[in-house]
């Protein structure tokens, strides 16, 4: 336990962007509370990679972010172990892609529940300790799809667009309490999910990106660290596009 350090909660941290965000906070000396849905092996790998990068503190909380009990468990773990919550990164997200005409209602509901409701629940539970401390950084991981839409991702786009609206609304509520709320909107990022795409598809995607390459989880983590920093206290209600110019 080190209550003198800043403490960050990161959801969906077992792999991909969430894992890189957790590692980056750990390297910066934060106490890290990582959440994951169910992949114990992947979560253990995140913890191992963190501990390889230096001496610090990291604990994990397994659970579905769309459930209120998980949000409560994350807040309780952070407060009991570290005594504070300074940063919350709502990163957990899923996809269930198909064209709207064929989309099942359950698949729409599930994506909204995890991607949007999950962020609402955790943010709401962290407000009391943040407001008491009069300090906080809330960062929601949206998507370029939430800004521009994408065929075959009605549910995902709606959830990520909803995060942007929620970000701006909460930012207005909390700005006077020294709590900032911002969103990061990644473009096409090289993760396990995009590894399954064919080389032809990847080349087609790259041709639409002015930077000429797909992004990396580290690109997103760097943006999150910037918004989480104490020096970013006059930035709130913003959507930071990290997409290599894809959305221009």
Q: How far apart are CA 77 and CA 55, in angstroms?
A: 20
2 has pLDDT over 60: no
Q: Judge whether 236 lies within some domain.
A: yes
Q: How many domains does the chain have?
A: 1
pLDDT, mean of residues 141-146: 96
Percentage of the residues of the chain whose pLDDT score is greater than 90: 88
- pLDDT at position 89 is 98
Angle at 67 between CA 63 and CA 71, to 5 degrees: 70
Q: Judge whether 204 lies within some domain.
A: no
Q: Judge whether 196 lies within some domain.
A: no
65-88 in b/e form (b: 16+ CB < 10 A) is bbeeebbebbbebbbeebebbbbb
Q: Which of 190, 195, 191, 187 is nearest to 244 (CA)?
A: 187
Compute the chain's Rg from CA coordinates: 17
Q: Judge whether 152 lies within some domain.
A: yes
Q: How far apart are CA 136 and CA 87, in angstroms?
A: 6
Tell me which residue range forms the domain holding 144: 7-189+217-241
Q: Judge whether 146 lies within some domain.
A: yes
- pLDDT at position 200 is 84
Q: Decide: residue 100, CB within 10 A, 0-12 exposed, 13-18 middle, 19+ buried.
A: exposed
What is the per-residue pLDDT across 35-49, written as a single tens digit (0 to 9) for each?
Answer: 999 999 999 999 999
Q: Within 10 A of 148 (CB to CB), how many other CB atoms are there?
A: 14
What is the per-residue pLDDT across 105-125, written as a single tens digit (0 to 9) for each?
Answer: 999 999 999 999 999 999 999
pLDDT, mean of residues 130-148: 97
Indicate the pTM of the whole model. 0.95
What is the per-residue pLDDT across 168-191, written as a single tens digit (0 to 9) for each?
Answer: 999 999 999 999 999 999 999 998
- CATH of residue 80's domain is 3.40.50.720
Q: Judge whether 247 lies within some domain.
A: no
Tokens of residue 145, six digits: 């799809």
Q: Judge whether 60 lies within some domain.
A: yes
**Could you give the 3-state DSSP secondary structure of residue 186?**
strand
141 has pLDDT over 60: yes
Catalytic residues: 156
- pLDDT at position 248 is 83
- pLDDT at position 4 is 67
Q: Judge whether 248 lies within some domain.
A: no
- pLDDT at position 74 is 98
Mean pLDDT (the chain, rounded): 95
* Cβ atoms 135, 84 nearer than 8 A: no
- pLDDT at position 93 is 96
- pLDDT at position 1 is 53
203 has pLDDT over 90: no
């Amino acid at each position: 336990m080190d209550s003198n350090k800043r403490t960050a909660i990161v959801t969906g941290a077992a792999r991909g962007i969430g894992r890189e965000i957790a590692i980056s906070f750990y390297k910066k000396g934060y106490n890290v509370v990582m959440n994951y849905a169910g992949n114990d092996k992947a979560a253990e790998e995140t913890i191992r990679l963190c501990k390889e990068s230096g001496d610090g503190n990291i604990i994990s909380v397994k659970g579905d972010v769309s459930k209120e009990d998980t949000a409560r468990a994350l807040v309780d773990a952070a407060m009991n172990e570290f005594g504070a919550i300074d940063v919350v990164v709502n990163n957990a997200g899923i996809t269930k892609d198909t064209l709207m005409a064929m989309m099942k209602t359950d698949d729409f509901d599930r994506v909204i529940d995890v991607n949007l409701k999950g962020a609402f629940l955790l943010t709401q539970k962290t407000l009391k300790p943040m407001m008491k401390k009069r300090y906080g950084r809330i960062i929601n991981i949206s998507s370029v799809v939430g800004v521009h839409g994408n065929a075959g991702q009605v549910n995902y786009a709606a959830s990520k667009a909803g995060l942007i609206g929620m970000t701006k609304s909460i930012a207005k509520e909390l700005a006077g309490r020294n709590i900032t709320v911002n969103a990061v909107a990644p473009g096409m990022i090289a993760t396990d999910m995009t590894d399954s795409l064919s080389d032809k598809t990847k080349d087609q995607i790259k041709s639409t990106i002015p930077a000429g390459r797909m992004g990396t989880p580290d690109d997103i983590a760097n943006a999150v660290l910037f918004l989480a920093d104490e020096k970013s206290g006059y930035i709130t209600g913003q959507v930071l596009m990290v997409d290599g110019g894809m959305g221009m």
